[in-house]
């Protein structure tokens, strides 16, 4: 096709700087890479963390183009690429590339690859019209799937689907989703429901109460109003013993210090949200005597990605999302850090 030499992008010129909407050159794919004409990209809280530089994982370049939930069309490919066709619909994820050869890549834990390259962190991401990714790591999107609607699956969906699998929760059991009204949380409510789990949603405000109920949560605990979150979460289960699993997708430290107290004996706490400078806390006696498991979960591998997309393709996953022009990214960030987003914002790259 006709690939231009200049394109529109949302650029952070330096750490912490507000986003500038401007023209930059279109990159050229290396031998094992593809060039993707991004149509839509979701905005993940991770993009804010990377721009602000508040994590141990720092962006390795500024000016930086963020974004790692991009859906688009392959328009060029390197000489070594055989399996991805020009014109194919693909997703560019957080894992932009990995070595494919280390012990972790060999075991399909490529997110643990010591040489993993992340979109919008080590290389420019999906907040631009043309983005590069390693061909082996792009997610395949069936052509009948709406690209705006699928884009939030490419990080939020994959991550919570993987986290729910890691939780070990079985159909009929209950999972508490902490941060249920946000991007990952809304996805988690829908994937949990599709996987046969019962959901307790935890977040703040009546908008998120209504939204999570619509998505399929059976109960809601408002952390901003509750006098005792631990007691209220346990009371939301029929026998009062608490949820079998907890998925922590909130961006604040407090819930990471409560979950081990309300999870059911033999239950599992899965940490996914990444509030800056936060620590986990759990009472040793109760963790031991109640046989609680606490674990982390980090995005998903290529198989998790394909499975998460397939749930979506079959119509099982619907989360509220709003499409706004790429030029409005900074406004989206401002809403995000105030906790005012219910569901996901999706950027339209051509506006």
Judged by CB under 5 A, the chain residues 31 through 70 that form the site for Zn ion are: 44, 46
Residue 53: both structure tokens together: 């530089």
The 10 Å CB-count burial string (b at 16+, else e) for 182-197 is bbbbbbbbbbbbbbeb
Classify 71 as helix, strand or coil: strand
- Residues 30 and 207: their CA atoms lie apart, in Å, by 46
CB of 236 to Zn ion, least distance (A): 28
305: partner contacted, choices ligand 8ID, Zn ion, none (Cβ within 5-8 A by kind) = none
Task: Please pick, from the candidates 65, 117, 169, 204, the single residue that binds ligand 8ID as defined by CB under 6 A.
Answer: 204
Asked if 281 touches ligand 8ID (CB under 6 A), the answer is: no
**Smallest Cα–Cα separation from 63: which of 104, 18, 117, 108?**
18
Judged by CB under 6 A, the chain residues 83 through 142 that form the site for ligand 8ID are: none
Whether 34 contacts 73, CB under 8 Å: no
Strand-pair partners of 296: 271
Task: Please pick, from the candidates 11, 59, 164, 341, the single residue that binds ligand 8ID as defined by CB under 6 A.
Answer: 341
Judged by CB under 6 A, the chain residues 210 through 239 that form the site for ligand 8ID are: 223
Judged by CB under 6 A, the chain residues 171 through 190 that form the site for ligand 8ID are: 178-179, 181-185
* HSE-CB for 117 with a 13 A CA cutoff: 19
CB of 293 to ligand 8ID, least distance (A): 17
Compare residues 6 and 334 and give the one whose CB is closer to ligand 8ID.
334
Strand-pair partners of 293: 268
DSSP track, 290-349:
TT-EEEE--S--HHHHHHHHHHHHTT-----EEEEEGGGHHHHHHHHHTT--SSEEEEET
45: partner contacted, choices Zn ion, ligand 8ID, none (Cβ within 5-8 A by kind) = ligand 8ID
Task: Please pick, from the candidates 39, 49, 77, 193, the single residue that binds ligand 8ID as defined by CB under 6 A.
Answer: 49
Task: Please pick, from the candidates 252, 286, 293, 318, the single residue that binds ligand 8ID as defined by CB under 6 A.
Answer: 252
Compare residues 35 and 263 and give the one whose CB is closer to ligand 8ID.
263
CB of 173 to ligand 8ID, least distance (A): 21
Residues 35, 40, 46, 49, CA torsion sign: positive
Task: Please pick, from the candidates 154, 155, 246, 309, the single residue that binds ligand 8ID as defined by CB under 6 A.
Answer: 155
Q: Which residue is nearest to ligand 8ID (CB)?
A: 182
299: partner contacted, choices Zn ion, ligand 8ID, none (Cβ within 5-8 A by kind) = ligand 8ID
Q: What are the φ and ψ backbone dihedral angles of 255, each rounded to 5 degrees? A: -65, -25
- Residues 200 and 243: their CA atoms lie apart, in Å, by 8
Binding mask 112-151 for Zn ion (x = CB under 5 A): ----------------------------------------
- Residues 153 and 307: their CA atoms lie apart, in Å, by 11
**Smallest Cα–Cα separation from 260: which of 224, 238, 284?**
284
Compare residues 75 and 235 and give the one whose CB is closer to ligand 8ID.
235
- The binding site for ligand 8ID (CB under 6 A) comprises 44-46, 49, 155, 159, 178-179, 181-185, 202-204, 223, 249-252, 254-255, 272-274, 297-299, 336, 339, 341
- The binding site for Zn ion (CB under 5 A) comprises 44, 46, 155
């Amino acid at each position: 096709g006709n690939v231009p030499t200049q394109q529109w992008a949302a650029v952070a010129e330096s750490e912490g700087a507000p986003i500038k909407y401007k023209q930059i050159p279109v990159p050229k794919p290396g031998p094992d890479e593809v060039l993707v004409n991004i149509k839509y990209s979701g905005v993940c809280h991770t993009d804010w963390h990377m721009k602000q530089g508040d994590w141990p994982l720092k962006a390795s370049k500024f000016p930086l183009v963020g974004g790692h939930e991009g859906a688009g069309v392959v328009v060029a490919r390197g000489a070594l690429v055989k399996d991805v066709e020009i014109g194919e619909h693909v997703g560019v994820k957080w894992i932009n590339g990995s070595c494919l050869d280390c012990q972790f890549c060999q075991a399909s834990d490529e997110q643990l690859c010591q040489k993993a390259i992340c979109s919008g962190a080590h290389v420019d991401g999906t907040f631009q019209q043309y983005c590069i990714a390693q061909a082996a790591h792009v997610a395949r999107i069936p052509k009948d799937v709406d690209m705006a609607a699928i884009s939030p699956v490419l990080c939020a969906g994959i991550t919570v689907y993987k986290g729910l699998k890691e939780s070990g929760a079985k159909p009929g059991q209950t999972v508490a989703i902490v941060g249920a009204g946000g991007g990952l949380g809304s996805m988690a409510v829908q994937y949990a429901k599709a996987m046969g789990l019962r959901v307790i949603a935890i977040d703040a405000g009546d908008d998120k109460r209504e939204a999570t109920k619509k998505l399929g949560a059976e109960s809601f605990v408002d952390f901003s109003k509750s006098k005792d979150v631990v007691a209220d979460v346990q009371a939301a289960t029929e026998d009062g013993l608490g949820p079998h699993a907890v998925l922590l997708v909130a961006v604040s430290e407090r819930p990471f210090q409560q979950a081990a107290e309300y999870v059911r004996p033999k239950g599992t706490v899965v940490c996914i949200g990444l509030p800056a400078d936060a620590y986990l806390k759990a009472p040793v006696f109760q963790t031991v005597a109640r046989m609680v498991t606490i674990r982390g979960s980090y995005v998903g591998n290529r198989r998790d990605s394909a499975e998460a997309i397939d749930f979506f393709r079959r119509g099982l996953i619907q989360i509220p999302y709003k499409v706004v022009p790429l030029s409005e990214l900074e406004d989206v960030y401002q809403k995000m850090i105030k906790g005012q987003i219910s569901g996901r914002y999706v950027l339209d790259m051509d506006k």
